[in-house]
Structures are given as C-alpha cells and as structure tokens.
C-alpha cells in the first residue's frame, strides 16, 4: 500500500513491507531532545503536536535521553497524562543493543540482555507491550539464533506485536531472515540510517545485494532514520554553526562532519530543493521516500516548527528524472555514518 489512506490530516500511510501494519511516511524519533535535554513542557508539546498532526508512530530505544532511559520515561508520562485512552491509536517502538547498564549483561544481543531491557523499557513507558521491538545492532559475539530467538520470545510472550532489526548489513539481514524463518518468527522491519549524505543501504555487498534489495525480496519493511543527517540536510550549517544546534552541543554530530565538500554538496542540494519549491529539509525527507520500498522516515525535532517544516515534505513526494539525476550529481558520501561499524559485516 502506498499513500492510500491518511493517518490524520495530511500524513500519508504506507504498508510496512509485507506486514499488515500501516505506518505514517514521517514518524518522530525521541533519540535526542527528550529526557533531561530541555524543558519537559517543550517535549510534551512536540509529542502531542506530532500525534495531533497524524504522526502516529513514535520511535524510542532503551538508551534514548539523555540520560539513557529518560526518553521512554518522558514519553510514558506524556502518554498517561496528555493522551489518556489513546495508546492503541499509536505505534510505539523501542530497541535494545547498545550499552544500558554496567557489566556483561548490559548491552549486545544476548537473550538475557534483550528481554531484561525490554522489561525495563515497558516499566519506564508504563505499558504492557510495545508495537515494535528491535535488535538495535548486530552483535558478533552472540549467535543470531539467540538474538532472533529473544525477539521471538518478545512476540510470543505478548511484550511486542512486531519485531525488527536495525543497522544490520545486507549479509547479516539475510542471515537474520533465515534464522527467523527457521524459528517461525516474522521480522517485519529493518531500521537503517539513510540520507542524501549516507546512501550505504543502496550499495551491493560482495554477493551483489544491497540492504534495500534484501528487504524488497523478503517483504521486510524499511524505516529510515536520520533522513536529515542529524540536521546537516537543512540550511542551518551553510553559514556557520548555530549556537542551539546539535553540532554546537557536541556529541553525535561532530563539527568535523561539516567539511568543505559536505557544505558544498548541501548548498547545491539546497538550490535543487528551492527550484522544486521545497526547503532542503523537506526535499531530504521526500527523497528518502521516493521509492516505496522505504515505508517511512524517522525524523528528530527540537521544536514544533522544525517538525512542521519537515512534515510539509509530504506535499511534494514526486521527483522528475532530471531532478533525481541532478541530486545524484551532488549527493556525496559525506562519511557521516556514525553507525557504519555496526552496519558492516563485522
């Protein structure tokens, strides 16, 4: 299903791969900006505003905050206080894979870690189940049978409605699908990073298949994260580093990503966007959605204005061949894939 129905005013839905689940083409992720990052009132306003606008999918992970866990706590509070009775209108996802607590059981892909983390997430969220539970990253030190088996238990025990994987390479995705078949559990979604400056999921591996090829062949839905390259694909960094921006805060977006080559690519892309009547942020979102194999993108937002700007991308999802060719000319690999080591074959 592509763009058949609307979640609420104006946000189209797409089918998530071969699953029965419809997802909005733009969803909100709470990786940063939620937790102790700013005023609770601002966070509450962004979440409620998103949902009222039709962004019915909220993406979380155990470690989102800061500090880790805080985003789930905030979202649980907003759900209980501001959205009573509306839980089943929403698609709520969480993940486990990165470091969450000290010691050998606080990260990775083991059954012990994944299911304990999921229980902790449910407690913070105040829920008895999430809609999607992800293995947040491939763990080379745990047999895939164990990681995927834990996802199967999440479903069979009622703690998750659907399960998926995130940042797995094409090879590891193929292997995970095979294991899931053997275990009788369906993987419904892959969540990779993807943007005009980070197109790794299009690249074939040594067997000739890309992540997108593997997903398409298996009916695995794709929800792409960081479609704005953490904010680089907006006009904000063209002339400097605004004091309130993610790059200024340091952390996941080092200013070293703002190379002259990347800035030149961003400026050229901004001109193509302007010619289309879009902002660069809007074109960056629309471009990720140009092929319906990508069911939706997960954007971040620090303000409701940012979110509103990004949501207006849905007004212009079509591209001419000439526009796509012009974009290909200037969309460089910006070497900004923070998750590359997790997305490799390891």
Ligand X SMILES: NC(=O)c1ccc[n+]([C@@H]2O[C@H](COP(=O)([O-])OP(=O)(O)OC[C@H]3O[C@@H](n4cnc5c(N)ncnc54)[C@H](OP(=O)(O)O)[C@@H]3O)[C@@H](O)[C@H]2O)c1
Residues that bind ligand X (CB under 6 A): 29-33, 59, 136, 166-167, 191, 225-231, 234, 236, 245-246, 281, 298-302, 306, 309-310, 339
The least distance separating ligand X from the CB of residue 31, rounded to whole angstroms, comes to: 3
Q: What are phi and psi of 273, to 5 degrees?
A: -60, -45
Q: Which is nearer to ligand X, 186 or 236 (CB)?
A: 236
The least distance separating ligand X from the CB of residue 308, rounded to whole angstroms, comes to: 8
Q: Which is nearer to ligand X, 30 or 222 (CB)?
A: 30
Q: Which is nearer to ligand X, 156 or 309 (CB)?
A: 309
Q: Which is nearer to ligand X, 238 or 325 (CB)?
A: 238
Peptide bond before residue 164 is cis, with ω within 30 degrees of 0:
no
Max CA distance (Å), the chain: 53
The least distance separating ligand X from the CB of residue 241, rounded to whole angstroms, comes to: 9
The least distance separating ligand X from the CB of residue 191, rounded to whole angstroms, comes to: 5
Q: Which is nearer to ligand X, 159 or 246 (CB)?
A: 246
How many CB atoms sit inside 10 A of residue 88's CB?
7
Please tell me the chain's helix, strand, coil percentages from 3-state DSSP, rounded to the nearest 5.
40, 15, 40
Q: Which is nearer to ligand X, 41 or 321 (CB)?
A: 41
Q: Which residues contact 52 (CB under 8 A, 6 or more apart)?
A: 8
The least distance separating ligand X from the CB of residue 179, rounded to whole angstroms, comes to: 20
Q: Which is nearer to ligand X, 110 or 166 (CB)?
A: 166
- Closest by Cα among 77, 164, 173 to 127: 77
Q: Which residues contact 171 (CB under 8 A, 6 or more apart)?
A: 205, 207, 345
DSSP element (H, E) containing 91: strand 91-96
Q: Which is nearer to ligand X, 5 or 232 (CB)?
A: 232
The least distance separating ligand X from the CB of residue 184, rounded to whole angstroms, comes to: 25
Q: Which is nearer to ligand X, 166 or 262 (CB)?
A: 166
- Closest by Cα among 99, 115, 118 to 107: 99
Could you give the 3-state DSSP secondary structure of residue 302? coil
Is-contact 280 245, C-beta < 8 A?
no
CA–chain centroid gap for 117, Å, is: 19
Q: Which residues contact 107 (CB under 8 A, 6 or more apart)?
A: 97, 98, 99, 100, 113
Q: What are phi and psi of 294, to 5 degrees?
A: -90, 110
Is-contact 266 237, C-beta < 8 A?
yes
- Distance in angstroms (rounded) separating the CA atoms of residues 283 and 270: 8
């Amino acid at each position: 299903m592509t763009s058949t129905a609307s979640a609420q005013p104006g946000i189209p839905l797409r089918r998530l791969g071969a699953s029965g689940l419809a997802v909005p083409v733009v969803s909100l992720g709470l990786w940063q900006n939620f937790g102790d990052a700013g005023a609770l009132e601002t966070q509450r306003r962004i979440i409620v505003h998103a949902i009222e606008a039709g962004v019915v999918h909220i993406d979380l992970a155990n470690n989102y905050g800061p500090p880790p866990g805080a985003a789930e706590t905030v979202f649980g509070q907003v759900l209980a206080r501001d959205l009573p009775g509306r839980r089943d209108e929403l698609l709520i996802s969480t993940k486990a894979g990165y470091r969450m607590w000290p010691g050998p059981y606080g990260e990775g892909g083991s059954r012990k870690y994944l299911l304990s983390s999921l229980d902790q997430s449910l407690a913070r969220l105040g829920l008895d189940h999430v809609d999607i539970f992800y293995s947040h990253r491939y763990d080379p030190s745990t047999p895939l049978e164990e990681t995927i088996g834990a996802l199967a238990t999440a479903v069979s025990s009622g703690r998750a409605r659907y399960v998926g994987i995130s940042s797995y390479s094409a090879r590891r995705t193929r292997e995970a699908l095979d294991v899931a078949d053997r275990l009788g559990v369906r993987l419904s979604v892959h969540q990779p990073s993807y943007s005009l400056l980070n197109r790794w999921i299009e690249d074939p591996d040594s067997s000739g298949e890309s992540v997108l090829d593997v997903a398409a062949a298996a009916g695995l839905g794709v929800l792409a994260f960081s479609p704005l390259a953490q904010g680089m694909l907006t006009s904000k960094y063209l002339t400097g580093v605004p004091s309130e921006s993610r790059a200024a805060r340091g952390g996941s977006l080092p200013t070293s990503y703002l190379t002259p080559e990347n800035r030149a690519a961003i400026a050229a892309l901004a001109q193509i966007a302007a010619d289309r009547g879009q902002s660069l942020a809007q074109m960056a979102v629309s471009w990720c959605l140009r092929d319906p194999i990508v069911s939706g993108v997960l954007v971040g937002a620090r303000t409701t204005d940012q979110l509103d700007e990004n949501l207006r991308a849905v007004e212009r999802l079509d591209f001419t061949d000439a526009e796509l060719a012009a974009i290909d000319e200037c969309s460089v690999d910006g070497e900004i894939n923070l998750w590359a080591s997790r997305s490799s074959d390891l």
